[in-house]
Amino acid sequence: MMPNGWLGCGTALVTPFTKGGAIDERALRELVDWQVEEGVHFLVPCGSTGEAATMTTAEHRRVVEIVVEQVRKRVPVVAGAGSNDTHKAIDLSSEMKAAGADMLLHVSPMYNKPPQRGIIAHFHAIADAVELPIIAYNVPGRTGSNIEAKTTLALAEHPRIVAVKEASGNLGQIMEVIRGAPKGFQVLSGDDALTLAVMAAGGNGIISVVSNMAPKRMSRLAERCAAGDLAAAREEHLALMPLMNAAFVESNPIPAKTGLALMGRMESTVRLPLVPLEEKHLPTLRSALQSAGALA
């Protein structure tokens, strides 16, 4: 974590691929350096934005190793390690620890749709097995099940479960977690567009897709919220709204990778079943990048 315990703005890193579909190590290292130089507070490789679902375990580990090497301890590295098979999640967590990750991001089990007590058992098994802090990730739109507020608060009692990335889109639920969270437990927005609202309500930061393309501005938004300067934070939020919307005109990370390609930072290659951005969305994405100052 940050020295003061505040997580801030973390980038859910895309994974650059070459035109042939291999990991583009050069582009990944350059992306990491740029993110850190622009002021991002932590990096999150191999989440859903990083297309971890289409990586082999060896590729997953290599991406995290590259990010850890390139970061050089300048910011924390939170490695995605989620699986809907608890034993696989534990094994992958051990791989991420060996690769040098500082923390882990674990998505709630997708497809299986466990009951709330199953979600608790899943996270407790991982946290008991691997000695790294864990951020729980609630994203019902991808997993098919919601981590209820009372379940998140139960997880927060485990000493290794230190935060939640909340992407339910349910502000009432998120505020229940903020209201009931024990001291030191971090509540992070999992939706760029809700960063201002979540942090104004007492949340602690954002794991962001948009910061792939606009790291300085998203980090500044989080910093201004944390400082209580909501007027300045609102200015940043409103300026970034077109990009927040454009980043999701198709399934993430298709627009983000296309945006970074427009910026000359990598190829826009995604792995099947993802496909290239539909051409009709390019003007919207380009205009949004320009309005955010990310593209001339």
Residues 6+ apart with CB under 8 A from 42: 2, 7, 8, 9, 10, 11, 75, 76, 77, 78, 103
The answer to whether the beta carbons of residues 75 and 40 sit under 8 Å apart is yes
Determine phi and psi for 24, rounding to 5 degrees: -95, 90
Cα separations in angstroms, 227 against 205, 210, 231, 238: 12, 21, 11, 18
How many C-beta atoms lie closer than 10 Å to residue 57's C-beta? 11
Concerning whether 111 is annotated as a catalytic residue, the answer is no
Best CA proximity match to 163, nearest among 222, 237, 106, 101? 106
Structure tokens at 144: 């098919």
Q: What is the largest CA-CA distance in the chain?
A: 51
Concerning whether 97 is annotated as a catalytic residue, the answer is no
- Inter-axis angle of helices 25-37 and 57-71, to 10 degrees? 40
Residue tagged active-site, from 73, 150, 165, 216: 165
Residue tagged active-site, from 97, 137, 216, 257: 137
In the block, residue with structure tokens 């130089």 = 37
Residues 6+ apart with CB under 8 A from 116: 147, 148, 150, 151
Structure tokens at 292: 């955010």
Query: How many residues does this entry show for the chain?
Result: 296
The answer to whether the beta carbons of residues 79 and 107 sit under 8 Å apart is no
Structure tokens at 249: 């005109």
182: helix, strand or coil = coil
Active site residues: 137, 165
